[in-house]
Amino acid sequence: MQKILLFILAVCLLTAPAFGTVGGWPINRPPTESWLSGSVGDPLWNWVKAVDRLVEIGSELGTGTIFYVDSGVTTASNGSSWDNAFATFAPAILACATNTGDYIMIAEGHNEGSGSAYLFSLYRHGVTVVGKGKGALKPTFDCEGLVTMARISGDNCTVRNIRFRAAATSLASNAPAILLSVDAGADYASILGCDFGYAETEGDYFGIGITIGVATGTLVQGCNFDSQEQLTVAMITPEGSTMTRIIGNTMYGDCSVADIYSATTANIRIMMAENILWNGVHSGLNAQPVIQLGSNDTGISIGNKAFCNVATVAAAFVGAKIGNFANYYNEDVGGGTTAVALDSATTTVNNASITRSGDD
């Protein structure tokens, strides 16, 4: 223990000119006996705790504050530490300041349900939300009603490693349960490594995983979408967005229209890259595309893998003004067929001809 303290003290002294203060505790002057007096105001002890928090979030904090959320906390408090965590997510958003780069850390195993209303709106600009845990231990928000469960309404917000779980017992086509909405005007939202669907109970539905409104620079990357055997509308629906990037996601679902779908307001410079897109159920594929965009949507689709059962290869990727590069299509679930490139004119698969319609 003494060696550890001496090492920490040495680091403090060596790095003092560079850092000056960490967490508001000065280390730019020679240590005194008060540094290790055992009181709660010891500069060294508090500096080390502040460094520990920076290490936990990868030193990305900047000038902000870290708040903690844990539904399993013994006594909910002000969110200043895991021991004093908020029990629910909404008070943590309220505690954040605008555009200071605050972080909200959510404990593994955390769980909240939406009831019949929406669960939260991330309205503070510049807030980053990080979930701890893997798989089923990811912090989980349950969508229990036919409403939009969660919203990102502030600019420059990031949500990472959270599970948005389907928990509604029916799907109404006129009012589908939306798990997460990037609201109009919420620019530069990032949704990273999150899960969507993953029904709480077999038979639970959701309508749409993520909707993206008239917002600029949304990034959806490394996320997993799974509706299991239940009918859904789409996994991602951008409507009127600019420079949306949908990269490296896995989408598995029984989608009534497409995995990625846009119906009305044109999207500008959308990019869809390296996504795995399955439209169907475990036992078979749907006769709907994996990407269906509007006639005025512009952008690029590159390196996506489509699994569905449509008339032509090009019919799996619908978008009159979308540039397609190295996208692949497969309708054979037997496992013995190589996928067909979108730029192939005609390919024979299992003694049947699959045609890529349009100019080659």
Using alpha carbons only, how large is the chain's radius of gyration in Å? 24
Percent residues over pLDDT 70 in the chain = 72
The single residue listed with the structure tokens 């280390």 is 27
Q: Which amino acid would we find at residue 40? A: V
Q: How far is CA 225 from CA 18, 57, 148, 321, in A?
A: 44, 26, 17, 26
- Distance, C-alpha 323 to centroid of its chain: 25
φ/ψ (deg, to 5) at 329 = -130, 140
Name the token pair of 164: 């948005």
pLDDT digits (tens, 9 = 90+) for 261-302: 998 899 999 999 999 999 998 888 999 999 999 999 999 999
- The greatest distance separating any two alpha carbons of the chain, rounded to the nearest whole angstrom, comes to 84
Mean pLDDT on 58-68? 77
Q: Domain extents for the chain?
A: 1-56, 89-355
**Does 99 or 30 have the greater pLDDT score?**
99
Cβ-in-10-Å burial (0-12, 13-18, 19+) of 274 comes to middle
148-187 confidence digits (pLDDT tens): 889 999 999 999 999 999 877 665 544 568 999 999 999 9
Tokens, residue 297: 């949507």
Instruction: Match domain 89-355 to its CATH number in 2.40.360, 3.40.50, 1.10.150, 2.160.20.
Output: 2.160.20
Residue with tokens 């509706």: 227
User: Which residues on neighbouring strands pair with residue 148, listed in sequence order?
Assistant: 178
- Site of tokens 């639970």: 204
Which of 286, 303, 154 is closest to 229 using CA atoms? 286
Q: Residue 298: left (phi > 0), alpha (psi -120 to 50), or beta?
A: beta
**Which single residue is written with the structure tokens 């003494």?**
2
pLDDT at 22: 44
pLDDT of residue 39: 60
Handedness of CA 185, 127, 162, 146 (dihedral sign): negative
Q: Residues 227-245: what's their mean pLDDT?
A: 94
Q: How far apart are CA 182 and CA 218, in angstroms?
A: 8
Q: Are 187 and 219 in contact (CB under 8 A)?
A: no
DSSP string, 106-166: E-TT-EEE-TTS--EEE-STT-EEEE-SSGGGS-EEEE-SSSEEEEE-STT-EEES-EEEE
What digits encode the pLDDT tens for the residues 186-202? 999 999 999 999 887 77
